Structure formats: C-alpha cells, structure tokens
Amino acid sequence: MLYGTMKVAIGGPLKVAFRPWVEGLENIPATGAAILASNHLSFSDSFFLPAVLDRKVTFIAKAEYFTTPGVKGRLTAAFFKGVGQLPVDRSGARGAGEAAIKSGIEVLERGELFGIYPEGTRSPDGRLYRGKPGGLARVALATGAPVIPVAMIDTEKIQPPGKVVPKLMRPGIRIGEPMDFSRYQGMEHDRFVLRALTDEVMYEIMKLSGQEYVDVYATAAKRQIAEAAKAAKEAERAGKAEKKADS
C-alpha cells in the first residue's frame, strides 16, 4: 500500500520531468522471483528503475537511513520504506554482507523482485568496476532465481557531486535477458564459481551500458581518488607556505 502510494507520488513526477527511455521491459517477468543486477552511477538509480517497472522492486539501504532520531529521521525512514528499501546494518563488513544476503533471499522467496548493485557502491567516475562476488552470486545460487542485467545510462549526469539542483535530461535504462545459473546449483561455497557467475553478469552489464570496465573494486578506486586529492591539497598548501617564506 505504502509502496504504491510512494510510486505514484515519486515515480509519476520523475517520469514526467525526466522522461527516462527504456529498452527491454519485456525481459522483466510478470510474476515470480528475479534478481535485477544493475550498474550504479547515481543515488537516483534506485528511484528511476522502480519508476519504469510495473512490479515492486526491493533494494538494500544502509540502516542509518531508518534509525536517525527526530522528525527528519522518521520522515526519512518512512520515505525509504515507502520506496521499497530494506535496512541493513553495515557497521561490520561481514555482518552487513550476511544481512544483505539474508534479506535478498527473503524477498525472492516471496516471489518478488530484488535489486542489487554488484559493484557494492556508486562508480566514482562513470566507469564500470569489478563486481563483488558475495552478495549477487550467493543470493542467486541460494534461490535459483534468474539474474536480469540492467544498465542505467547517464543518471550520474543529472545531479553530479556538489550540484543541488538536478539537471533536466533524459536518462536511460537497458534491461537484458534473464540469465540462468542453474548449472552452478549447490556450488555456492565455491569461490571460483561465485567469481565466475559475478563476472558473467558484469560482462552483460558492460555490453548493455557501453561503460569502460575497470578490473578493480569501486571502493578501492574511491580510496585512491580520495588519497590523490588529499596529496594534491597537501602539496598545494606546502607550495603556498614555501612561497610565503620566500617573500
């Protein structure tokens, strides 16, 4: 009920304002469980994809969105629940992963759609990064649900970092054909199988999105970018201090 209300309240205006184009809607099953594995370019990905689908899709969100105190916190929690987000405590990496897997399995066992971003976090530069094998592969093998690759197109250009007002432009969504991994059934504890399954899905996402693929994790890339920015600032400060000392 709440999801339907929020879908109308948010999805409707999003579709009118941004007019997202979609390819491959016929690949979403009318009923039954399926995993939507998408690239992740923007915070808005979790809103644009559900907006163009007739069925409810559930994503994972960090628990802080649901536990912040005060009026603003309660409103935020209601909003995320309304748009089909599930809280997961990410305070411990291993615990967070297990919680996400458990939540995904529960969604799929109800015959619903479960959305997941195999990269684990948003791309820092618009490129496609290596998929993390734990969540996607283990949920797929535990449930037998088909994996549907999804590519979000240009969503990162709508509201780049530092921009408050979003840019009105048409993002795109390409939905690939369902992928069947029944040949790996019962092998969810084989790390080579988990890696192979994840890489297969990431390859399909790359073909759909046209992104450049980087064979490192996005979290590592973000850390490198942050360290480079910090080093640049320190070098700039040192240069200014040296110039001041010489004057």
In the chain the first and final C-alpha atoms are separated, in Å, by 69
Buried b (16+ CB within 10 A) or exposed e, 81-97: bbbbbbbbebeeeeebb
Out of 42-51, 85-94, 150-159, least confident range: 85-94
- Per the listing, tokens 């088909």 go with 146
Q: Which residues, listed in sequence order, are joined to residue 60 by a DSSP beta bridge?
A: 86
pLDDT at 112 over 70: yes
Q: In this prediction, what percent of the chain has a pLDDT beyond 70? A: 83
Give the number of other CB atoms < 10 A from CB of residue 16. Answer: 8
More confident residue, 46 or 7: 46
Model pLDDT, residue 170: 95
pLDDT band (50, 70, 90) for residue 89? low
Query: pTM of this prediction?
Result: 0.86
Cα 17 from Cα 166, distance rounded (Å): 11
If pLDDT is split at 50, 70 and 90, which confidence band does 65 have?
Answer: low
CA max distance for the chain: 74
**Neighbouring C-beta atoms of residue 159, cutoff 10 Å:** 15
Rounded to an integer, what distance in angstroms lies between the CA atom of residue 185 and that of residue 179?
A: 14
Q: Residues of the chain with pLDDT > 90: what percent?
A: 54
User: Distance (Å, rounded) from C-alpha 26 to C-alpha 40?
Assistant: 22
- Superfamily of domain covering 2-215: Glycerol-3-phosphate (1)-acyltransferase (3.40.1130.10)
pLDDT band at 245 (very low <50, low <70, confident <90, very high): confident
Residue 72 has a pLDDT of 59
| Structural domain boundaries in the chain | 2-215, 217-247
- Cα separation, 158 vs 161, in Å, equals 10
Q: How confident is the model at residue 230 (pLDDT cuts 50, 70, 90)?
A: confident
Which of 35, 33, 25 has its CA nearest to residue 173? 25
Residue linked to tokens 């579709």: 15
Please state which of the ranges 155-159, 160-164, 189-193 shows the lowest mean pLDDT.
Answer: 160-164
Alpha carbon distance 224, 222 (integer Å)? 5
122 has pLDDT over 70? yes
Query: Exposed, middle or buried: residue 222 (CB in 10 Å: 0-12, 13-18, 19+)?
Result: middle
